[in-house]
Amino acid sequence: MKLWLKVSLCAVVMVTLSTTACSLLLLLRSGQRNLNLAIDNALANQQIRAASWQSAMQTRIDESYGETAARSLAKYLMGQLGDSSTALLCGTDVIYNTTTVSPEEYLPVTAEAQQYIIEDIGDKTMLIVGSAATVNETRYRIYTIKDITHVFTGIRELAYSFAAISLCVILAAGAVTVFITRALLKPIATLKENTALIANGVYGNRVTIAERDEIGELGEDFNRMAEAVETHIQELRDEAERRTMFMSALTHELKTPMTGIKGNAQTLLATKLTEEERENALYAIDAACTRVERLSQKLMQLIMLRQSGNMPLSPVPAAMLIADVKAACAEQLRIRGLTLKTANDMGLVMMERDLLADLFINLIDNAGKASRRGDIIELNAHGGIISVTDHGIGIAESELDKLTQPFYMVDKSRTRKAGGAGLGLALCDEIAHLHGARLIINSTPGIGTTVSVVFDAEGAQYEKANQ
């Protein structure tokens, strides 16, 4: 059953119960009031009639009256004071009765006080009121019989009126409830539809709910959830794509040296070679094996970095880091005919010293590959940023976003000739993330490249030297 239908049925039931209860209460109170009024009128008339008759009898009768004369006088006076609803009895004798009822059968009067009873006689409801009167030691019983059928008829008519009014109220309340409920639950239907879309893989839809109530808040929460789901799904897709690209690139990178090894091995086995040719083949095999070894080391390092997630960091002076990097790169820079220029105004940096030094050694190695003999490479630490700048060939802007992808190479022939596998910047990016930093690359073709490691100032990842 739909929620709107459940709510509507509950509302209709509540309205029905409340309307019925109120109607019954009003009906009972109205009927009881009319009945009490009829009884009170009958009792009052009975009291007046009995008192008047008794007074008249005591005034007119004397001791000379015999029993027959007394009954005649009693009948006469009752005829004068009574009406069509009056009866007079003495003992078992009916002296006067203008009704069609024998009241003694329904209400035997045994006391002086007035008594009454309500009885259904035939198709009518009768109110019988009786009282006793004593005249000259003779006990009489006076009755008034009143038809009160109209009181109960009125109650029934009132009940029918209440029923009709209640039915109209219930129908109107039901219609209004259905309309309001469906209007209130319409945003929930919208949420349901969009939830179904998300379940079917459509993550871009958002709901618009104008109400500023709990349902509106639910809509906002739904949009935030949908945004989070879409972001997460996109991240999973990106990660899957990166893994696919990684495996494809890895296969390609391994295929090239393995092909060289296999080809040279087959040459050694199948061909008679001179000593020089034999040595050249062995050197080629050794170079290919070295490349595979270097590639496997980089891959293991990259995998371990990604699996580590986080690592303990210690405060280390930036000057010590720069000194480590400078010492490690000195020989390679000398061979290439390059100069390393350093500058530093940073104090302590939260780091894993060896790992962060490896990052900048990689960056300086890449800068050296892009530089010309006699160029200057700059290593600067300033304002929470440690950067490596070269003045070499530069990189096109369209290539910058791809540089941290594993195995991506701007100039594959030049990179392979230099012994690279396209993993250096990917490793640098992972190391930067482990230090709560970002790797930013800026480059202009023909002018040079700057790779910056930007530390988080708010996270107190570094401090200035003068602090």
pLDDT above 70 coverage of the chain, percent: 80
Q: Which amino acid is at 443?
A: S
Answer for the pair 451, 386: CB distance below 8 angstroms, yes or no. Answer: no
- For residues 99-112, average pLDDT: 83
The closest alpha carbon to 442, from 405, 409, 401, belongs to: 401
Predicted confidence band at 458 (pLDDT cuts at 50, 70, 90)? very low
For residues 55 and 9, the model is more confident at 55
Segment 251-269, tens digit of pLDDT: 655 665 677 777 778 877 7
Joined together, the tokens standing for residue 5 give: 């239908």
Answer for the pair 350, 313: CB distance below 8 angstroms, yes or no. Answer: yes
Answer for the pair 359, 329: CB distance below 8 angstroms, yes or no. Answer: no
Domain ranges of the chain: 3-161, 311-464
CATH architecture type of domain 3-161: 2-Layer Sandwich (3.30)
Instruction: Please give the pLDDT value at position 359.
Output: 84
As a whole number of angstroms, the distance between CA 75 and CA 86 comes to 11
Phi, psi dihedral angles at 382 (to 5 degrees): -155, 130
Beta strand pairing call for 339-344 and 376-382? parallel
CATH superfamily of domain region 311-464:
Histidine kinase-like ATPase, C-terminal domain (3.30.565.10)
Hey, how many other C-beta atoms are within 10 angstroms of the C-beta on 367?
26
Say whether pLDDT at 361 is over 90: no
Predicted confidence band at 450 (pLDDT cuts at 50, 70, 90)? very high
For residues 315 and 296, the model is more confident at 315
Predicted confidence band at 72 (pLDDT cuts at 50, 70, 90)? confident
Say whether pLDDT at 297 is over 70: no
For residues 205 and 96, the model is more confident at 96
Instruction: Please give the pLDDT value at position 308.
Output: 60
The closest alpha carbon to 386, from 313, 312, 315, 461, belongs to: 461
Segment 77-88, tens digit of pLDDT: 888 887 778 988
Instruction: Please give the pLDDT value at position 422.
Output: 43
Say whether pLDDT at 416 is over 50: no
Long-range contacts of 415-423 (CB under 8 A, 24+ apart): 415/369, 416/256, 418/369, 419/291, 419/294, 420/369, 421/253, 421/291, 421/294, 421/295, 421/298, 422/249, 422/253, 423/295, 423/298, 423/299, 423/302
Segment 378-411, tens digit of pLDDT: 999 998 899 999 999 888 887 777 676 655 554 5
Residue 375 CB burial class (10 angstroms; 0-12, 13-18, ≥19): middle
The answer for residues whose C-beta is within 8 angstroms of residue 71's C-beta and 6 or more apart is: 90, 93, 95
Instruction: Please give the pLDDT value at position 135.
Output: 85
- The whole-angstrom distance between residue 303's C-alpha and the CA centroid of its chain comes to 40
Instruction: Please give the pLDDT value at position 337.
Output: 93
How many Cα atoms occupy the beta-carbon half-sphere of 80 within 13 Å? 11
Segment 168-212, tens digit of pLDDT: 877 887 787 777 777 766 777 777 777 777 777 777 777 777 667
Segment 326-344, tens digit of pLDDT: 888 888 898 899 999 999 9
Instruction: Please give the pLDDT value at position 8.
Output: 66
